[in-house]
């Protein structure tokens, strides 16, 4: 996926989870943060961030904060991006025999990110964006997520009903060595992810090629569940 009208800036502060103050060309602008997670290790005063100018001139915030530099890493932190790049990736032919890929499909009490069909199978995929990096590893979640736990349980239930099921962790950066659940922050999510894997749910993790104005899924990353 590609962004338009991207400019760099210096992060100043985050008054609340929805907005950030950013210095651009010597002036302070207000930007919408397209990620409501904590992101405390990313949004540190003085770091370089990248803003996309919004299409709607009547918006209260004229910019969206979409990426941030963390040392040598460039991390996309647009929470809407993982689903978009997953759809592009899946439709590019990497999912063999795909005949249907439908977003936002309800099954049971959950709405999964994607439902797919091939000539022989059908299944569900839940996509999770990953922005937390620590000592070369990528971790999810960066804050407790009861919704994420619910989705994993529903994926396991769908698998038991004969559907294929997968959770795809889209790591919004390049350069990590592995992916692992963040048991320190949310032990229940890690325990449920391991339960889902034992139930036959596929656990995928892919890193991304990131530039200030592009994002695309690149390569598989080893998954460490223990």
Compute the distance between CA of residue 142 and CA of residue 186 in angstroms, rounded to an integer.
8
- Pairing assessment for the beta strands 164-171 and 214-220 based on DSSP bridges: unpaired
> Which pLDDT belongs to residue 189?
98
Token output for 147: 């919704």
> Which pLDDT belongs to residue 93?
77
Concatenating the DSSP letter of every residue in 10-36 gives: EEEEEEETTEEEEEETTEEEEEEES--
> Which pLDDT belongs to residue 54?
85
Record the pTM: 0.94
> Which pLDDT belongs to residue 109?
84
> Which pLDDT belongs to residue 110?
84
Average pLDDT over residues 18-28: 96
> Which pLDDT belongs to residue 60?
82
- Span of 27-31, 57-61, 162-166 with lowest mean pLDDT: 57-61
DSSP-based three-state secondary structure for 89: helix
pLDDT at 223 over 90: yes
Q: Say which residues have a Cβ less than 8 Å from residue 92's Cβ, sequence separation at least 6.
A: none
Tens of pLDDT, residues 182-208: 999 999 999 999 999 999 999 999 999
Tens of pLDDT, residues 134-152: 999 999 999 999 999 999 9
pLDDT at 57 over 80: no
Of the pLDDT bands very low, low, confident and very high (cuts 50, 70, 90), residue 7 is very high
> Which pLDDT belongs to residue 102?
96
């Amino acid at each position: 996926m590609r962004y338009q009208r991207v400019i760099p800036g210096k992060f100043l502060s985050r008054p609340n989870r929805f907005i950030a103050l950013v210095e651009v060309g010597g002036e302070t602008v207000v930007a919408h943060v397209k990620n409501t997670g904590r992101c405390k290790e990313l949004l540190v005063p003085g770091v370089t961030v990248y803003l996309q100018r919004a299409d709607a001139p009547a918006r209260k915030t004229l910019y969206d904060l979409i990426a941030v530099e963390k040392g040598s890493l460039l991390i996309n932190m647009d929470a809407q991006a993982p689903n978009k790049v997953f759809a592009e990736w899946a439709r590019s032919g990497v999912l063999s025999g795909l005949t249907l890929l439908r977003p936002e499909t309800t099954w049971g009490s959950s709405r999964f990110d994607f439902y797919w069909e091939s000539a022989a199978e059908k299944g569900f995929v839940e996509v999770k964006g990953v922005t937390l990096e620590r000592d070369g590893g990528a971790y999810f979640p960066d804050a407790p997520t009861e919704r994420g736990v619910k989705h994993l349980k529903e994926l396991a239930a769908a698998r038991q009903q004969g559907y294929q099921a997968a959770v795809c962790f889209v790591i919004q950066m390049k350069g990590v060595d592995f992916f692992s659940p963040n048991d320190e922050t949310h032990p229940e999510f890690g325990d449920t992810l391991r339960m889902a894997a034992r139930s036959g749910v596929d656990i995928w993790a892919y890193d991304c090629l990131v530039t200030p104005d592009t994002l695309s899924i690149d390569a598989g990353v080893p998954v460490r569940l223990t």
